[in-house]
């Protein structure tokens, strides 16, 4: 057991001190900080954020109504009457006195039309707001000419009442689905990134030791099984360290900016009122998913002796993760489809898909237990097979980038 802790701590500390780990952690922390301070950052680069737009109203009757509509539609736009000519207005825009120039007029049918002038038209935000308000002016003018009063128009364009009622007593309400959707999104992305990142790290670490012949010394002092699981747990703790740092900084920002985040990011993802059970399922399926793919990565990494061959060898594993992720993205809109239900029992996909179903639906406990049972049994089988492959694979040298080397690795194990 002492050898296990030595290998695990060595793996952890070696990876912890690498520049890639430190840089990725710092970037992640800066990203979290940036999200929490998004409004402050925007104000720093854009000032007060107000964009002043000059308006030449050739009709003499559209400006006031448009100004009121824009004030309701956006807090960052300010319309100003321009008394000069169109050419003078263009020059004022190019000299950055105004952000843009709009000319308003009436066409032959006495309906509003406009021309928008700006140094560039790539920023579509203010354009869409003004265009929407002009569209409302056009509708109002057209219906007025047709003898239809404004109240009738408002009634026509008001949203239809559409209530959704679930007949199944165990079905989740729309509010519960909204609350669960955010944590499901985050879990899917976290598992996807973690498996690819740390799985690749495990395989690369094993291949690096083989290429430097360090493996021969390690195998002579500790069993291959001990070595394999020490690698897996060591890198798992490395990932846990990174997650704890990110969550810790995130929690500190939540405490200091609770109102801003609750009404912003948390409200958008719908995770402020998520049930505790969903977080428990997230942890369970995340750990099981990591163990499954980490064991597979260690087994594949033991078959290669050159770092250059690692990516080619673990490509099938990455494809499995990608397929699971894409199915999960499809399942977010159709979590109860037969395809999602069936694939949620396939071990390579169940960490993402069964958690998706648990989050979006009221899945019977026996289905969740069956999925977890299949996943645990698969991990146990992979651990047993992986240990045998690993035991023979770490003794294989030379170019090796084919899955056919599984047989060769097992044969080497039998000879010992």
Question: What is the pLDDT at residue 314?
Answer: 82
Domain boundaries, the chain: 48-157, 172-415
Q: 117, 56 in Cβ contact below 8 A?
A: no
Among the listed residues 226, 190, 155, the one whose alpha carbon sits nearest the alpha carbon of residue 10: 226
Strands 77-81 and 112-117: unpaired
What CATH number should be reported for the domain whose range is 48-157?
A: 3.40.190.10
CB proximity list for 265: less than 8 A, separation 6 or greater:
35, 36
β partners of residue 77 = 51
* DSSP code per residue over 67-82: HHHHHHH-SSEEEEE-
d(CA 204, CA 20): 13
**DSSP 8-state symbol, 295:** H
Strands 100-106 and 51-57: parallel
Where the chain has pLDDT below 50, the residues are: 262-265, 268-270, 401
Q: Is the C-alpha dihedral spanning 39, 43, 45, 46 positive or negative?
A: positive
Question: What is the pLDDT at residue 398?
Answer: 56
Whole-structure pTM value: 0.65
Question: What is the pLDDT at residue 386?
Answer: 72
Alpha carbon 67 to chain centroid, angstroms: 39
Question: What is the pLDDT at residue 315?
Answer: 85
Q: How far apart are the first and last CA of the chain?
A: 22
């Amino acid at each position: 057991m002492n050898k296990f802790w030595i290998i695990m701590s060595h793996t952890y500390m070696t990876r912890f001190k690498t520049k890639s780990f430190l840089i990725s952690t710092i970037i992640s922390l800066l990203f979290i900080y940036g999200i929490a301070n998004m409004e402050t950052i925007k104000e720093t680069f854009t000032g007060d954020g107000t964009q002043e737009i000059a308006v030449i109203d050739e009709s003499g009757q559209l400006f006031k109504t448009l100004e009121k509509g824009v004030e309701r539609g956006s807090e960052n736009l300010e319309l100003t009457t321009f008394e000069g000519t169109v050419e003078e207005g263009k020059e004022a825009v190019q000299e950055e006195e105004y952000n843009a120039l709009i000319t308003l007029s009436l066409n032959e049918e006495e309906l509003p039309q406009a021309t928008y002038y700006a140094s560039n038209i790539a920023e579509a935000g203010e354009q869409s707001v003004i265009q929407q308000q002009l569209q409302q002016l056009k509708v109002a003018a057209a219906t007025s000419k047709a003898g239809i009063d404004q109240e009738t128009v408002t009634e026509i364009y008001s949203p239809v009442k559409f209530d959704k009622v679930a007949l199944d007593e165990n079905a989740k309400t729309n509010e519960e689905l909204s609350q669960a959707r955010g944590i499901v999104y985050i879990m899917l992305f976290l598992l996807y990134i973690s498996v690819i990142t740390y799985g690749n790290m495990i395989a690369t670490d094993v291949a690096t030791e083989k290429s430097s012949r360090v493996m021969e010394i390690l195998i002579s002092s500790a069993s291959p099984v001990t070595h394999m699981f020490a690698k897996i747990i060591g890198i798992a703790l490395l990932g846990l360290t990174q997650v704890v740092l990110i969550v810790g900084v995130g929690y500190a920002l939540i405490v200091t900016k609770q109102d801003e985040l609750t009404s912003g990011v948390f409200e958008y993802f719908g995770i402020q009122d998520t049930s505790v059970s969903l977080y428990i399922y997230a942890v369970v399926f995340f750990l099981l998913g990591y163990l499954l793919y980490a064991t597979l990565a260690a087994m594949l990494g033991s078959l290669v002796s050159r770092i250059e061959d690692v990516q080619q060898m673990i490509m099938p594993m990455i494809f499995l993760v990608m397929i699971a992720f894409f199915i999960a993205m499809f399942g977010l809109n159709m979590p109860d489809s037969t395809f999602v239900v069936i694939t949620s029992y396939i071990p390579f996909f169940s960490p993402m898909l069964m958690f998706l179903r648990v989050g979006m639906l009221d899945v019977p406990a026996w289905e969740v237990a069956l999925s977890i049972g299949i996943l645990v049994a698969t991990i146990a089988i992979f651990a047993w097979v992986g240990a045998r492959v690993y035991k023979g694979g770490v003794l294989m040298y030379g170019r090796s980038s084919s899955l056919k080397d599984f047989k060769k690795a097992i044969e080497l194990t039998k000879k010992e």
